[in-house]
Amino acid sequence: MLDVHGGVPLKGTVRVRGAKNLVPKAMVAALLGDTPSVLRGVPAIRDVEIVTGLLELHGVRVTPGPDRGDADGELVLDPAAVEQGSIVDIDAHAGSSRIPILLCGPLLHRLGQAFIPDLGGCRIGDRPIDFHLDVLRKFGAVVDKTPGGIRLTAPQRLRGTKVGLPYPSVGATEQVLLTAVRAEGVTELRNAAIEPEIMDLVMVLQKMGASITVDPARVLRIEGVDRLDGYFHRSLPDRNEAASWASAALATGGDIMVEGARQQDMVTFLNIFRKIGGRFDVLEDGIRFRHPGGDLTSTVLETDVHPGFMTDWQQPLVVALTRASGVSIIHETVYENRFGFTDALRRMGATIQLYRECLGGTPCRFGRQNYLHSAVVAGPTPLRAADFTVPDLRGGFSHIVAALAAEGTSQVSGIDVINRGYEHFLDKLHGLGARFDAKAAA
């Protein structure tokens, strides 16, 4: 429970480390190697703890690298003693994250079987895994759904296959990559996701000895190999965390230097950030984001797959848009239910209306269904403190930012979910001058 005192501009420096949406996947990839892997830039977040526990249950030795005093975060992953973890232990991790589904391919290659507990992750849509199961069956896996999760077996070595994704799913693309690299023969994946985190995983696998090509039409071709070695890799920085702090600077009228932020991963975000009136400076060791004073300008945006505007960027930005003069329109085309966090903003005085229509040029999968996946924000409106519970990772970050931008003191509960993806979150807020009192949950 936090009492957050608003009205304070966030000013100072934060450091982002390895991307939450790459590091756990690279850790899973280490399972495919016959020798140990070394991963650098690992952030201290819950998702890393969860995957560490899951890998250890399967006999992988995960040890921190030597402390070099640079707070860099290094893990050594040794898969030499991989064996099937006990079903009960694995089940204990059920509901905590979406990463376990990516263990399927590596475990089927090494053990011929896998048991995956029911998944967790942010409630921002029903987040099915049909694409994952379809491609695993095409590789030759036998998939049985059980009450507590999914049991998979590979009667013989998995075989390369030709698949096309109905939608460029990040997770399903990772599923294919982590399975195809050790399958017999060639795999072709059409309509693949090509987010920077995907390309980083491709580089990890290439270092291990995999043969992967990416063509301009987003078709991946993977030639299966008989063995892979461990890798040495530094994760790309977390562009979603960087974009979150950038929006926090706008929303609170502040000035935040995000060390480690990389322009090449954020070009689309930076365009919108400048368009609504934010100022940014790309420096040697990061990007400085600030509110230059005066009014912000409303805008129209649609989220999309890379290189479009990332769905993970819209929630914190919406808080800044409540301060912009005029009407902003956001069409969320990736997830069907990612505006739940706006309820709390409305209670704080924001003028936000949700619509079922596709309010944008790109007709998406959710049009003419019962999904409130477009938002209209009218501003500027001052925000008043309110009490609320954090709904999910990015929505939760937005709630805290809104409380910091609001007048008065807000009571925020359930902030632990933020630790899943933002490392040292409260320390960073404190370092930026935020005023809050941590209270024991009532």
Asked whether position 95 contacts ligand EPZ by CB under 6 A, the answer is no
Nearest distance in Å: CB 173, ligand EPZ? 8
By CB under 6 A, residue 17 contacts ligand EPZ: no
Contact positions with ligand EPZ (CB under 6 A) in 333-352: 334-335
Residues 333 and 339: beta-carbon distance below 8 Å: no
> Are 254 and 277 spatial neighbours (Cβ–Cβ below 8 Å)?
no
Cβ within 8 Å of residue 336, ≥6 positions away: 125, 126, 365, 366, 369, 371, 373
Helix (H, G, I), strand (E, B) or coil at 68: coil
* Residue 138 sits in the site that holds ligand EPZ (CB under 6 A): no
Other CB atoms within a 10 A radius of the CB of residue 38 amount to 15
| Closer to ligand EPZ by Cβ: residue 50 or 321 | 50
What does the per-residue mask of binding to ligand EPZ show for 175-214, with x meaning CB under 6 A? ------------------x-x-------------------
Name the token pair of 10: 């966030």
Catalytic residues: 122
Please tell me whether residue 127 binds ligand EPZ under the rule CB under 6 A: yes
**How many CA atoms lie less than 13 Å away from 122 in the CB half-sphere?**
25
When binding is defined by CB under 6 A, the residue of 34, 130, 281, 416 that contacts ligand EPZ is 130
Q: Could you say whether residue 48 binds ligand EPZ (CB under 6 A)? A: no
Q: Count the Cβ atoms, other than its own, within 10 Å of residue 430.
A: 13
Contact flag: residue 244 with ligand EPZ (CB under 6 A): no
Q: From CA 258, how far away is CA 212, in angstroms rounded?
A: 33
Q: Does 170 bind ligand EPZ (CB under 6 A)?
A: yes
**Binder of ligand EPZ out of 27, 39, 45, 122 (CB under 6 A):** 122
Any idea which residue has 């931008």 for tokens?
405
Is residue 388 left, alpha or beta, with left meaning phi > 0 and alpha meaning psi from -120 to 50?
beta
Q: Is residue 218 a contact point for ligand EPZ (CB under 6 A)? A: no
To the nearest whole angstrom, how small is the minimum distance from the Cβ of residue 51 to ligand EPZ? 10
325 burial level (CB within 10 Å; 0-12, 13-18, 19+): middle
Look-up of token digits 């999309």? 304
Out of 8, 59, 74, 98, name the contact with ligand EPZ by CB under 6 A.
98
* Distance of closest approach, residue 131 Cβ to ligand EPZ, in angstroms: 3
When the beta carbons of 132 and 399 are compared against ligand EPZ, the nearer one is 132
Spatial separation of the C-alpha atoms in residues 140 and 337, rounded to whole Å: 33
* Closer by beta carbon to ligand EPZ, 188 or else 195: 195
Least distance from C-beta 125 to ligand EPZ, angstroms? Answer: 5
Query: For residues 255 and 336, which CB has a smaller minimum distance to ligand EPZ in the complex?
Result: 336
Single out the segment in contact with ligand EPZ by CB under 6 A; choices: 49-57, 129-137, 152-160, 260-268.
129-137
In degrees, rounded to 5, the angle at the alpha carbon of residue 266 between the alpha carbons of residues 378 and 126 is 65
The correct pick among 14, 57, 62, 172 for binding ligand EPZ (CB under 6 A) is 172
User: What ranges in 337-424 are assigned the alpha helix state H?
Assistant: 342-347, 393-405
Provide φ and ψ at 113, rounded to 5°.
-155, 165
List beta partners, residue 378: 327, 351
* Piece of the chain touching ligand EPZ by CB under 6 A; list 87-95, 123-131, 212-220, 224-232: 123-131
- Give me 313's structure tokens: 């960027």
DSSP alpha helices (H): ranges in 182-238? 196-208
Question: Which tokens sit at 298?
Answer: 């409303």
3-class DSSP state of 436: strand
Tell me whether residue 298 or residue 374 sits nearer to ligand EPZ (CB atom).
Answer: 374
276 scored as a contact of ligand EPZ (CB under 6 A): no
Structure tokens at 34: 């016959």
Query: Reduced to 3 states, what is the DSSP secondary structure of residue 200?
Result: helix
> Given candidates 169, 247, 322, 374, which one binds ligand EPZ under the rule CB under 6 A?
169
Nearer to ligand EPZ, 348 or 393 (CB): 393
Q: Which is nearer to ligand EPZ, 298 or 398 (CB)?
A: 398
Q: Select the span of 81-89, 121-129, 213-221, 255-263 touching ligand EPZ (CB under 6 A).
A: 121-129
**Which residues does residue 328 pair with via DSSP β-bridges, in sequence order?**
377
- Show the binding pattern over residues 385-424: x = contacts ligand EPZ (CB under 6 A), - = does not: --------xx--------------------------x---
By CB under 6 A, is residue 240 in contact with ligand EPZ? yes
Q: Which residues are within 8 A (CB) of 226 and not within 5 positions of it... i.e. 6 or more apart?
A: 182
Binding mask 301-320 for ligand EPZ (x = CB under 6 A): ----------xx--------
Q: What residues line the site for ligand EPZ (CB under 6 A)?
A: 20-21, 98, 122, 125, 127-132, 167, 169-172, 193, 195, 240, 311-312, 334-335, 393-394, 421
